């Protein structure tokens, strides 16, 4: 009997035993091999993440050229925009408050979880369960300066006779975590020579409900000197050479002052409708002028926007900020308002603002020499057709600067006549 049972048992047990031993050996091999494999995959993602960041800096223009513009009249090399958003040729430039109307969207409900999950799933992030912000901090550390703050975000655009922007609450980190995904996708599509842009298809750019689209302000500052004995004036403009330490447009040239439309600390926790009673695009531009051009740091985190009205800069600029156009940044998909201001050196308020009695060259030197910080350097350039043409077409210009130059060039005679620029 045993002679029959034992072979039968062996025939049954042997495959089971071999399978068990194989399973144990496989588990051991996986346990030994998995950590190096996991680290290799992580290191590969880190390297690709760095390549995408580098691509956005060094080949920004090439990336922008690849981005689809189906929803808009124009794109590369400018902002994504409709032609009706720009200043119309042969008409006087209007002050910013005569063009842009801000309406509060207090009832907007936060709905950003879907896009953040999609970005973590689809965008090649080193730490796939962490946000874009966490990954940037992890990989770049203190190399990139990032600061959390409350911001105003666009909820919708209604281009009536005046352009109405509906405004909702947001945070700068929320903007990074929702809008930067579009930029990383564009870099990845460029690197791999693809044209899928699935994020832009799933979350179209003109649907602002799924992301925190910050509102940027970019203003070209033009300096109009005194006439010489022949009545001639060599006008200048200020160009900001952005450093590699900023989060956006690294290594590119832009107009100055530039900033983000955000509430002062006293208004940060208020409803948007209440905050907008004290805030506005004009105040943002003047605040950035004080910080970036006059070098007055205390206005970078302004406690109360009404403090601005006590400054000479307010008196100099309050009726001197003119609308040029707006559009969406093609890389990071936030809204950017384009403006210009003309600083007339013959006016007493200009001398008081810069704290210099009557020396024009000292004022200009003060502007250029005192504003070198981690954000970059300010350069003085002749304001003429050649300069505008150069920065319109330069591969080192931001789309904002390119579009500002294009708008002014297209209406240069009218522009020069309005501001008496020879």
Beta strand 163-171 pairing with 100-104? parallel
Structure tokens at 306: 């009404």
This prediction has a pTM of 0.86
pLDDT digits (tens, 9 = 90+) for 372-385: 555 778 889 999 99
pLDDT of res. 368: 60
Q: Which of 9-13, 34-38, 279-283 has the lowest mean pLDDT?
A: 9-13
Q: What is the DSSP letter of 81?
A: B
pLDDT of res. 12: 59
pLDDT of res. 251: 75
Residues 6 or more apart whose CB falls under 8 angstroms from that of 165 comprise 100, 101, 102, 103, 154, 156, 157, 158, 215, 335
pLDDT of res. 6: 59
Structure tokens at 21: 């031993």
**pLDDT range class, residue 232, cuts 50, 70, 90:** low
pLDDT digits (tens, 9 = 90+) for 117-144: 999 888 879 998 899 999 999 898 877 7
Other beta carbons within 10 Å of 50: 13
pLDDT of res. 306: 79
Q: Where are the domains of the chain?
A: 59-66+77-418
Evaluate whether 164 touches 158 at the Cβ level (below 8 Å). yes
Report the candidate in 292, 282, 216, 226 with the shortest Cα–Cα distance to residue 248. Answer: 216
Is pLDDT of 258 > 70? Answer: yes
Cα separation of 80 and 334, whole Å? 10
Work out the average pLDDT over 288-313: 79
Fold of 59-66+77-418: Nucleoside Triphosphate Pyrophosphohydrolase (3.90.79)
Q: Which of 2-6, 60-64, 299-303, 334-338 has the lowest mean pLDDT?
A: 2-6
Average pLDDT, the chain: 85
Q: Find residue 301's DSSP bridge partners.
A: none
Is pLDDT of 22 > 70? Answer: yes
Cα distances from 169 to residues 166, 213, 328, 329, in angstroms, run 10, 10, 18, 20
pLDDT of res. 33: 58
pLDDT digits (tens, 9 = 90+) for 171-220: 999 999 999 999 999 999 999 999 999 999 999 999 999 999 999 999 99
Is pLDDT of 291 > 90? Answer: no
Highest mean pLDDT among 259-268, 301-310, 397-406: 397-406
**pLDDT range class, residue 247, cuts 50, 70, 90:** low
Answer positive or negative: Cα dihedral of 383, 389, 395, 401: positive
Give 38 or 331, the one with higher predicted confidence: 331
pLDDT digits (tens, 9 = 90+) for 147-168: 888 999 999 998 766 889 999 9
Is pLDDT of 76 > 80? Answer: yes
Q: What is the DSSP letter of 88?
A: P
């Amino acid at each position: 009997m045993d002679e029959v049972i034992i072979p039968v048992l062996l025939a049954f047990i042997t495959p089971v035993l071999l399978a068990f031993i194989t399973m144990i050996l496989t588990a051991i091999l996986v346990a030994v091999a998995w950590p190096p494999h996991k680290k290799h995959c992580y290191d590969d993602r880190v390297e690709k993440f760095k390549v995408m960041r580098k691509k956005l800096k060094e080949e920004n223009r090439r990336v922008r050229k690849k981005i689809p513009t189906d929803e808009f009249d124009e794109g590369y090399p400018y902002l994504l925009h409709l032609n009706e958003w720009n200043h119309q040729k042969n008409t006087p430039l209007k002050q910013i408050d005569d063009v842009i109307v801000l309406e509060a969207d207090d009832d907007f409900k936060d709905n950003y979880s879907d896009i953040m999950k999609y970005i973590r799933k689809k965008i090649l992030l080193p730490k796939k369960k962490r946000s874009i912000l966490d990954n940037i901090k992890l990989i770049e550390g203190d190399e990139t300066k990032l600061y959390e703050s409350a911001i105003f975000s666009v909820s919708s655009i209604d281009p009536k006779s005046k352009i109405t922007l509906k405004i909702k609450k947001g945070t700068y980190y929320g903007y990074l975590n929702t809008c930067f995904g579009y930029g990383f996708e564009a870099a990845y599509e460029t690197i791999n020579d693809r044209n899928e842009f699935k994020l832009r298809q799933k979350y179209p750019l003109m649907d602002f409900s799924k992301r925190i689209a910050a509102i940027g302000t970019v203003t070209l500052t033009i300096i109009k000197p005194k006439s010489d004995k022949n009545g001639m004036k060599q006008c200048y403009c200020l160009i900001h050479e952005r450093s590699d330490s900023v989060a956006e447009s690294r290594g590119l040239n832009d107009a100055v002052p530039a900033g983000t439309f955000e509430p002062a600390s006293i208004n940060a926790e208020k409803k948007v409708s209440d905050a907008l009673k004290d805030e506005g695009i004009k105040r943002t531009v003047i605040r950035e002028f004080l910080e970036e051009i006059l070098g007055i740091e205390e206005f970078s985190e302004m406690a109360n926007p009404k403090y601005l009205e006590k400054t000479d800069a307010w008196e100099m600029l309050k009726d001197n900020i003119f609308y040029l156009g707006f559009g969406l940044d093609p890389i990071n998909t936030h809204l950017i308002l384009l403006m210009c201001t003309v600083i007339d050196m013959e006016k007493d308020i200009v001398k008081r603002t810069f704290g210099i009695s009557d020396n024009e060259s000292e004022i200009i030197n003060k502007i250029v020499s005192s504003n070198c910080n981690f954000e970059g350097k300010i350069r003085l350039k002749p304001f003429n057709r050649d300069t505008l043409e150069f920065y319109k077409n330069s591969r080192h210009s931001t789309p904002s600067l390119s579009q500002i130059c294009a708008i002014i060039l297209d209406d240069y005679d009218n522009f020069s006549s309005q501001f008496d620029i020879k």
